[in-house]
Chains A and B, each alone.
Chain A
Amino acid sequence: MSTVTTAPARAVPPGALDVERIRADFPILQQRVRGKPLVYLDNAATSQKPRVVIDTVSRYYLEENANIHRGVHYLSERATRAYESARGRVQRFLNAADTREIIYTRGTTEGINLVAASYGRRLRAGDEIVISWMEHHSNIVPWQLLCEQTGAVLRVVPINDDGELGMDEYARLLGPRTKIVAMSHVSNALGTINPVREIVAMAHEAGAVALLDGAQAIPHLPVDVRELGCDFYAFSGHKVYGPTGIGILYGKAELLEAMPPYQGGGDMISSVSFEKTLYNTLPHKFEAGTPDIAGAVGLGAALEYVEGIGRERIAAYEAELLAYATEALSALPEVRLIGTAHDKASVLSFELEGVHPHDVGTILDREGIAIRTGNHCAQPAMERFGVPATARASLAMYNTRQEIDVLAAGLHKVIEVFR
């Protein structure tokens, strides 16, 4: 019997995520920036793309490109099939009951704007919309616009010093006037995981519908919209390893059926005359104009890739990495973490004593480390913690402990420069 020699196995426990294998799937991570290996820690802004997503988008344009839902020719049929089968992938990913409940959008922002503009038409003066202090601007401004148009009132649930939602205050803000509750599943600025099942149940008890902003949850946590019970769930493709310019709004069919179209145009109609236009059925009623077909197909590939790895496995790996990173940063006396909720995902927002976040970002950049600095489109949350801005390192499943060590060493360098 001959012996087969293989490379020594790396110490990856059975069932655990093999981060080196995952990293090999992401071509961009192999590069050096400014002479150093890239340490990409700006995943809450956007994630990098695995080769399978890049290849799928590329193959779509190389082999399948045509307009959808209207051609009788071969390519149109193929493009339509690719676009609709990606919708099926999204439906299964979210465990939605039906593909009619899956609306393609440009991203989370458009999904929320769609609900505000369309469902929001039924609001009247004095009705109330409840959001929280930790929301991204895209889950604040659409509701402010709606309030301006209808005379509805915006109610804001406060957060505590750890960045956790005040559930008692939330309960007190709910009432017969509450029509919409809109909350982030995971906060982009603080990393807080909100108790969304409870939030949704309480909204329903008050007779309101509940929208969840899933932009930061979808790459990190298993999401089952039927288990959550939410009425709407919005997310962006590019934060979950898919292309930019494509996103999803999930909505319960009976609500979407009753809602007026968001935009008018091609594909959202079944017949048009100057006297009377009939709208198309779901989901097409909400997809006016030629959509980002390649983006949708790429998103399907990204979700398939994530499922291939397993969302439970990703969540477990990232939780362990977050704990490691939290410890590494807390070990620096100059660091003050902003957002220390008990339930957190993949975000480390921090201040470095005596150094503005922007200077932190510039010095880390020279070390090949990409982080975000600024207010993270969450100015109210920043104000809540009395800071104009923070530095934010945000993790993805392809980040490693070694990269966290590089970050900590980079922060030492920042402290040296400013000593």
Chain B
Amino acid sequence: MSDLQELYQEVILDHNRRPRNFQVLEDANRQAEGYNPLCGDKITVYLHLQDDVVRDISFQGAGCAISKASASLMTDSVKGKTRAEVEALFRRFHGLVTGEDDPESASVELGKLTVFSGVSEFPVRVKCASLAWHTLQAALKGEGDKVSTE
């Protein structure tokens, strides 16, 4: 079960059980919806963006453990970051979950997000891990349209 333990690390299971920032954000000025038709995951990301900085962020939705934990940890990681910093972090995260980058190379920037390194062994789950991030990107761009992983 080593691949599985790698994928379902305790941090991920914890964020799945008790997702952080899991609510509607009252003073949100941006929001976007994401959808993964493969598994029916749906997510809404709420954003309070001021001077190009993520002042506050939250999410709502239903999904698998990977997508929910990813959304939860993402909201924790991007608070207080500028748009450019969020973009850079997403690139790092994407490199991690697709296995394109060595997990060690960016562990400082990624911080807690390195728990998703196990996803690279499960190619079909990359979409689950990145759904929240794609949705956040759409919210940052101010696109009200639904994003879909398909």
Contact with A along B34-61 (1 / 0, CB 8 A): 0000111110000000000000000000
**Binding stretch for chain A, among B63-71, B84-92, B107-115:** B63-71
By the criterion CB–CB under 8 Å, are A359 and B40 in contact? no
Interface centre among A355, A356, A413, A417 (most CB of B within 10 A): A356
**Binding stretch for chain A, among B2-10, B24-32, B98-106, B139-147:** B2-10
B20 in contact (CB, < 8 A): no
By the criterion CB–CB under 8 Å, are A359 and B64 in contact? yes
A375 in contact (CB, < 8 A): yes
Among B4, B40, B42, B66, the residue within 8 A (CB) of A417 is: B4
By the criterion CB–CB under 8 Å, are B39 and A355 in contact? no
Among A366, A389, A418, the residue within 8 A (CB) of B39 is: A389
How many pairs of A and B residues are in contact by the CB < 8 Å rule? 50
On whether A358 and B64 interact (CB within 8 A), knowing A382-B40, A388-B40, the answer reads yes
A363 in contact (CB, < 8 A): yes
Residues of B within 8 A of A355 (CB): 65
- Cα–Cα, bound, A359→B65 (Å): 7
Using CB atoms, name the residue of chain B closest to A419: B13
A372 to chain B, nearest CB (A): 11
- Cα–Cα, bound, A237→B56 (Å): 54
On whether A356 and B4 interact (CB within 8 A), knowing A382-B40, A388-B40, the answer reads no
Interface centre among B3, B38, B64 (most CB of A within 10 A): B64
A357 in contact (CB, < 8 A): yes
A281 in contact (CB, < 8 A): no
- Cα–Cα, bound, A413→B8 (Å): 13
Among A356, A366, A413, the residue within 8 A (CB) of B3 is: A366
Among B1, B62, B128, the residue within 8 A (CB) of A366 is: B1
Using CB atoms, name the residue of chain B closest to A363: B4
A374 in contact (CB, < 8 A): yes
By the criterion CB–CB under 8 Å, are A356 and B63 in contact? yes
Among B1, B40, B122, the residue within 8 A (CB) of A374 is: B40
B15 in contact (CB, < 8 A): no
Using CB atoms, name the residue of chain B closest to A375: B40
A270 in contact (CB, < 8 A): no
By the criterion CB–CB under 8 Å, are A362 and B7 in contact? yes
A298 to chain B, nearest CB (A): 29
By the criterion CB–CB under 8 Å, are A362 and B125 in contact? yes
Using CB atoms, name the residue of chain A closest to B8: A417
Among B3, B4, B8, B39, the residue within 8 A (CB) of A357 is: B39
Residues of B within 8 A of A359 (CB): 8, 64-66
By the criterion CB–CB under 8 Å, are B40 and A418 in contact? no
A113 in contact (CB, < 8 A): no
- Cα–Cα, bound, A418→B65 (Å): 9
**For chain A residues 83-113, which have a beta carbon within 8 Å of chain B?**
none
By the criterion CB–CB under 8 Å, are B39 and A356 in contact? yes
A373 in contact (CB, < 8 A): yes
On whether A374 and B4 interact (CB within 8 A), knowing A362-B122, A418-B13, the answer reads no
B131 to chain A, nearest CB (A): 11
- Cα–Cα, bound, A363→B8 (Å): 10
Using CB atoms, name the residue of chain B closest to A387: B40
Residues of A within 8 A of B128 (CB): 358
- Cα–Cα, bound, A358→B4 (Å): 13
Contact with A along B110-143 (1 / 0, CB 8 A): 0000000000001011001000000000000000
A227 to chain B, nearest CB (A): 38
Seen from chain A, the residues whose Cβ lies within 8 Å of a Cβ on chain B are 355-359, 362-363, 366, 373-375, 382, 388-389, 413, 417-418
Q: Could you list some 19 contacts between A and B, CB below 8 A?
A: A356-B39, A356-B64, A357-B64, A358-B63, A358-B64, A358-B128, A359-B8, A359-B66, A362-B4, A366-B1, A366-B4, A374-B38, A374-B39, A382-B40, A388-B62, A389-B39, A417-B8, A417-B13, A418-B13
Beyond contacts A358-B38, A417-B4, A418-B8: 15 other A-B pairs, Cβ-Cβ < 8 A, are A356-B39, A356-B65, A356-B68, A357-B39, A358-B41, A358-B125, A363-B4, A363-B8, A366-B4, A373-B39, A374-B38, A382-B40, A389-B40, A413-B1, A418-B65
